[in-house]
Amino acid sequence: MSEPVRIAIDAMGGDHGPETVLPGAEISLGRHPDTQFLLFGDEAKIKAVLNGHPKLEASSRIIHTDVVVGMDDKPSQALRRGRYKSSMWRAIDAVKVHDADVAVSAGNTGALMAMANFHLRTMPGISRPAIAALWPTLRGESIVLDVGASIGATAKSLVEMSIMGSAMARVLFDLDTPSVGLLNIGVEDMKGVEEVREAARILKDDGVPVNYHGFVEGNDIGAGTVDVVVTEGFAGNIALKTAEGTAKQLAAYLRAAMGRTVRARLGYLLARDAFQVLKEKMDPRRSNGGVFLGLNGIVIKSHGGADAEGFAAAVDLGYDMVRHQLMARIEKSLVDRPAPPESVRSPQVAEAEGKT
C-alpha cells in the first residue's frame, strides 16, 4: 500500500473557521481514508468540534497556534503579525519542513499567497507563482491560470504557466497531452498584447513540451475549447469573477421565471429532478479551490465562504495533487524543456554565459 497523504489544514481560515473546515476535512477523509491531517489552530476550539467527529479525530494531530490571520488583513500585515505563529503560516511551514505534503486554507488569498511565496519560494526555473482554478465547462472541466496571484505577465511567465497548467491537467484529467490556449481578445495572430504574442511564438516554435492550441477568447473558457487557459492574473481574476456573477444572475432569472405563475410552479415540481441536475452543474462548490503553482510545495486555497462540502472539494483537490505527484510532473516538464531562447533569458543568465 502506498504512503498516506499528509494534509496540513489551517483550521482557523475562512469565514466560519473550525466549524466548517473540520467537517469538510471529514467529508474528504470519507472519500480518501488514506489521509492524515495536521490541524493548526486554537486547540480548545478544534477539540470542541472534533468531539462530534471521531473518525476525523482518529486521523488528525492538533498543533496549537495563538494567532489567526484576519480575512481582511493586508498581505504585509499578515506577514508581520502572523509569521511563525499563525495557523496559516504553520500549515505552510509543515509543507516546507516535509511534515505535510500539501497545505489547505480558506483564509485570505493575499495573505496566503504572500506567506506561501515568502516561505516556500518559487521552484527553480519558475519566475513567479500563479493561482490555478478549476472551471466547469460544456466539455467537463478546464484549468484557468493565473486567476490573481500577480498582475501582468511576461512572455516567459506565460510560458511557465503553460507548463505548470499542463502538468496539473495531466494529474487531474488523466490526459497525456492536454491542450493549452493563451487568452486573448481575438483569434487572429496580430491581435493582443506583445507579451501574449511573444509567448505564442515561443510555445509554437521553441520545443516547449506543451500541446499548444493557439489563442482563445473569453467565450472559449466555458465552451471547453482547451484543457488549460493561460492568462495574466488581472484578466484571469476578472474572467473568473465575471463568470461567477453571470451564473448567479442566470440562476436568479431562472428562480424568478419558475415562480411567476401557478403553471410554471407546477411545471417546476414535475421537472424538479432536472433542476437538481442543473443545480449540481452550476454548484460552485464542486470546483472550489485555487491551486498555488510554481512554489516548492503545494498550497490549496479554498473559498473563504465555502461550506463543509465546498471545503471538502478543496481538500480533495489537495489529495489528488499529492497522490498523482503534481510537483514531480512539473519538475520533469521543466527539465524536459529545451534551453530557453535568448529572448526569454534573464539578463543575469545571459551575462553569466558571457553573451552580453
How many positions of this chain bind its own copies (CB under 8 A)?
65
Q: What are phi and psi of 157, to 5 degrees?
A: -75, -30
Q: Which is nearer to its own copies, 223 or 350 (CB)?
A: 223
Using CB under 8 A as the binding rule, whether residue 342 contacts its own copies is answered as no
Q: What are phi and psi of 179, to 5 degrees?
A: -85, 145
Strand, helix or coil for residue 27: helix
Q: How far is the CB of 242 from its own copies (least distance, A)?
A: 4
How much of the chain is in helix, strand and coil states, percent to nearest 5?
A: 50, 15, 30
- Per-position x/- string for 164-203, each x denoting binding to its own copies as judged by CB under 8 A, each - no binding: -------------------x-xx-x-xxxx----------
Q: Which is nearer to its own copies, 238 or 334 (CB)?
A: 238
Using CB under 8 A as the binding rule, whether residue 235 contacts its own copies is answered as yes
Stretch that binds its own copies, among 15-23, 159-167, 207-215, 239-247 (CB under 8 A): 239-247
Query: Pairing mode, if any, of strands 211-216 and 140-145?
Result: unpaired
Residue in this structure with the C-alpha cell 497523504, named with its chain if needed = 5
Helix axes 75-82, 87-96, angle to 10 degrees: 80
Using CB under 8 A as the binding rule, whether residue 52 contacts its own copies is answered as no
> Which one of 253, 332, 339, 352 is in contact with its own copies (CB under 8 A)?
253
- Rounded to 5°, the CA angle 101-107-172 comes to 45
Strand, helix or coil for residue 21: helix
Q: Can you give the C-alpha Rg of the chain in angstroms?
A: 21
> Which one of 31, 80, 85, 281 is in contact with its own copies (CB under 8 A)?
281
Q: Applying CB under 8 A, which residues contact its own copies?
A: 72, 74, 110, 137-138, 148, 151-152, 183, 185-186, 188, 190-193, 217-223, 231, 233-235, 237-250, 252-254, 256-258, 260-261, 263-264, 266-275, 277-278, 281-282
